[in-house]
Structures are given as C-alpha cells and as structure tokens.
C-alpha cells in the first residue's frame, strides 16, 4: 500500500513538471545566440529542452571545417573536422535522389537531433532553414495538441478541443492579474468572494456532467436489455428405449 501511494505521488509530481515545462515552452521565447535564421526557426518549433540541445550542436558547428571529398552521380561525400584537426574528422554523405544527408556519428538516427557535423554541412551549403525531414514530430511544442487516429478512423485529441496545458497557461496568466486585489482589504475580499463563487459554479457544472453521463450509460443499458433475447435450452423428451427412425 505504501508503495502505491509513493508511486502515485511520483507520477503526480512528474505530470506537474511536464505541465510547467509545456507552459514555459508555449509562453517563453528561448534566447538566441547566433544570427542564423535556422536557430530562430527551430526556437519556434522545438520544445525548450530540445531546443537548448539543438543550440549546443549549432554553436559547435561554427568551429567545424568542411571539405569536399568525392562527388558521384548520386552521392556526395564531405569530410568534417574540428578546427582542422584530422583526429576528430567525420564524414557527411548527401544522397541526391532522396535529398537526405547523413553523418558517420549517427546522432540524428539515435537522438533525433541534427548533429554539429550535419549543421556544418547545411551552413556550408547556405541553407538558412532546416528541412522538415530533419524535424521530428515528437520534439515539437504542439505535439500534445495533435490528434491521434486509431484504426477505426476515430480522432482523439482534435485541435478543436484545447488541451489541459493550454487551459492551465491561460488560467495562470489570468491569475497573475489578481495581484491588483492585494492593495486593499475591500479588493481582496471582492476577489476572494468571486473566486469562491466561480469554484462553486465549476463544481456544480462538474456534478451535472457526471449525472448526465450516468443517465446516458443507464439508457444504453436499458436499450441493450430491450433487444436482448433469452434463448432457453429445449426440454428433454422422456422416452424408453431407442428412438425409431
């Protein structure tokens, strides 16, 4: 029993931290360190935590040199080294048919974030924005507001319904304006009375919704009972001897 209580507390704390992180990603703009338009683009797409990981790779990419090794009909090979040091060299391959770039460090394949070597290649080829194929959906800040399509084509989590994180951020921003009610006792009492009245109305709305949902479930059960047909086993005939054909 104690383990279950501790486990529920840990889950609750984890959810609260996720909500706070989501709100900060939605409301706060990350600090940019370069003038490269790609950094501004990714800052508007990625979550705050993933963006800072990307920003580290972006900063290091400025210290890498890139040299063309081989240019074939379908593939182009580049050598990327840190400040001209041959020991730390990596190889970047660009596939012309697929228009996809890969690096020998395989960071993008493992972590889903473009590595510094790949970013050095993009800077070398004067690409100001990161292509969609390098931006994974799971790192986007609006990933929790997207719909999930099941096999029966039902959509769960449609964008027409706001998620809990967006509701939380809106209510938090409104609550920050309540500090005007702290300057006098009358304003404080007025704010408290209105907040308590709002909480009571919300509780009554929640109670009505739960009652309506319960009535719907009862109606469905009654409908099922009307259409149910009880099939009984046939009565056994009492006869002596073998049946005649």
pLDDT digit string (tens) for 94-114?
998 888 899 999 999 899 999
Residues 164 and 124 in one domain: no
103 versus 145: which is more confidently predicted? 103
Residues 116 and 47 in one domain: yes
Alpha-carbon Rg for the chain in angstroms:
31
Contact between residue 66 and residue 91 where contact means Cβ atoms under 8 Å apart: no
Residues 108 and 133 in one domain: yes
Distance of CA 85 to the CA centre of its chain: 39
pLDDT at 177 over 80: no
Mean pLDDT for the chain?
76
Query: What DSSP assignment string belongs to 26-62?
Result: HHSPPPP-S--HHHHHHHTTB-HHHHHHHHHHHHHHT
Number of residues that this document lists for the chain:
245
* Beta bridge partner(s), residue 102: 93
Most confident of 10-14, 55-59, 70-74, 164-168: 55-59
Residues 101 and 65 in one domain: yes
Contact between residue 83 and residue 63 where contact means Cβ atoms under 8 Å apart: yes
Residues 117 and 207 in one domain: no
Strands (E), 115-206: 148-149, 155-156
Position 233 scores a pLDDT of: 58
Residues 160 and 129 in one domain: no
In a domain, 168, yes or no: yes
pLDDT at 146 over 60: no
In a domain, 203, yes or no: yes
In a domain, 113, yes or no: yes
At 160, is the pLDDT very low, low, confident or very high (cuts 50, 70, 90)? very low
The arrangement of strands across the sheet holding 64-71 comes to 64-71, 75-82, 85-95, 100-103
In a domain, 242, yes or no: no
Owning domain of residue 101: 31-141
In a domain, 14, yes or no: no
For the ranges 20-29, 45-54, 188-197, 226-235, the lowest mean pLDDT is seen at: 226-235
Q: How far apart are the C-alpha atoms of 15 and 21, rounded to whole Å?
A: 10
Residues 131 and 215 in one domain: no
pLDDT at 170 over 70: no
In a domain, 15, yes or no: no
């Amino acid at each position: 029993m104690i383990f279950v209580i501790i486990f529920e507390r840990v889950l609750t704390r984890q959810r609260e931290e996720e909500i706070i992180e989501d709100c900060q990603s939605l409301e706060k703009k990350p600090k940019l360190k370069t003038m490269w338009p790609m950094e501004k683009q990714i800052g508007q797409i990625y979550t705050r935590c993933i963006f800072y990981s990307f920003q580290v790779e972006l900063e290091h990419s400025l210290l890498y040199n890139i040299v063309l090794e081989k240019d074939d009909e379908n593939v182009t090979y580049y050598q990327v080294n840190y400040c001209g040091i041959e020991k730390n060299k990596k190889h970047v391959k660009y596939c012309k048919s697929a228009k996809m770039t890969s690096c020998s460090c395989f960071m993008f394949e493992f972590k889903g974030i473009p590595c510094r070597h790949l970013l050095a290649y993009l800077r070398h080829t004067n690409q100001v924005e990161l292509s969609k194929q390098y931006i994974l959906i799971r790192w986007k800040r609006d990933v929790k507001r997207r719909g999930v399509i099941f096999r029966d084509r039902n959509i769960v989590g449609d964008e027409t319904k706001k998620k809990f994180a967006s509701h939380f951020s809106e209510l938090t921003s409104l609550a920050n304006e309540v500090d005007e009610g702290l300057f006098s006792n009358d304003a404080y009492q007025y704010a408290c009375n209105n907040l308590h009245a709002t909480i009571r109305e919300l509780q009554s709305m929640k109670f009505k919704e739960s009652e309506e949902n319960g009535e719907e479930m009862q109606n469905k059960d009654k409908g099922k009972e009307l259409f149910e047909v009880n099939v009984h086993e046939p009565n056994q005939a009492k006869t002596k001897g073998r049946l005649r054909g």
